[in-house]
Amino acid sequence: MSFQALQLNLGKWSWCVMHHVLRSTTVNSRRCMSGVVDPPDMSPPIPVYEDRSSDEPMETKRARLLYQSRKRGMTENGLLLSTFAARYLNKLTDTQLHMYDTLINKPTNDWEIYYWITGTKATPEQYDNEIMDMLKKHTRNEDQEVRLQQPSLPDLSA
């Protein structure tokens, strides 16, 4: 029997059978019966956050945080964090920059950051600070600014 025929005959069991056949692993039938399958995590490891606040010049830190605010891998956070950075990054104190750096770089899941700043999930105590409050206010967009794209980068050629 071909794999396609096996898949058609078994309906929601098909992924479980495919997983079992291809991976030669034990299949939890209770999970397969419900249609939920939790395959092993095959994602690459995420580097551990390194605090750079003590040895990084302020200008370098601002440039790095601007870049990291724009390149999130997730459009929602890219828009929210890049517009926040364009507006506030040059006004933040060293302590506030450290809080922002920790907030956008220490959590290993960008969706968590998104849920916190949109108020969908409660913010963990370690990230609940004045920068988070500023981000939440920025995200509410009370002035109804159009934020369909990231702001232009500053011209550094001059």
Query: In the predicted model, what is the mean pLDDT of residues 25-32?
Result: 46
**pLDDT above 80: residue 136:** yes
Q: What average pLDDT does range 89-109 have in this prediction?
A: 94
The rounded distance, in Å, linking the Cα atoms of 116 and 136 is 8
123-132 per-position pLDDT tens digit: 999 999 999 9
pLDDT tens by residue, 102-112: 999 999 889 99
Examine the domain organization and report whether 22 and 90 are in the same domain: no
pLDDT at 38: 64
Considering only CA atoms, which of 82, 89, 53 is closest in space to residue 68? 82
Q: Are residues 114 and 66 in the same domain?
A: yes
Distances (CA, A) of 140 to 10, 68, 134, 135, 154: 47, 21, 10, 9, 25
Residue 14 and residue 80 in one domain: no
Consecutive H or E run containing 67: helix 58-70
Calpha distance 18→33 (Å, rounded): 14
SS3 call for 141: coil
- Over residues 7-12, mean pLDDT: 48
Query: DSSP label at 146?
Result: -
| CATH number, domain with residue 92 | 1.10.150.250
Query: Tokens 């078994």 sit at which residue?
Result: 10
Measuring CA to CA, which residue among 121, 141, 140, 129 is closest to residue 104?
129
pLDDT digits (tens, 9 = 90+) for 36-78: 666 777 777 777 778 876 789 999 999 999 999 999 889 999 9
On whether both 83 and 24 belong to a single domain, the answer is no
Taking each helix axis from N to C end, the angle separating 75-88 and 130-140, rounded to the nearest 10 degrees, works out to: 110
Residue-range definition of the domain harbouring residue 20: 3-34
Do residues 67 and 133 both lie within one domain?
yes
Average pLDDT across the chain, whole number: 80
The structure tokens listed for 101 are 């750096």
Which has more confidence, 4 or 92?
A: 92
- Pick the more confident residue, 86 or 24: 86
Q: Is the pLDDT of residue 34 over 70?
A: no
Task: Decide if 100 is inside a domain.
Answer: yes
Residue 10 has pLDDT above 90, yes or no: no
Over residues 21-44, mean pLDDT: 57
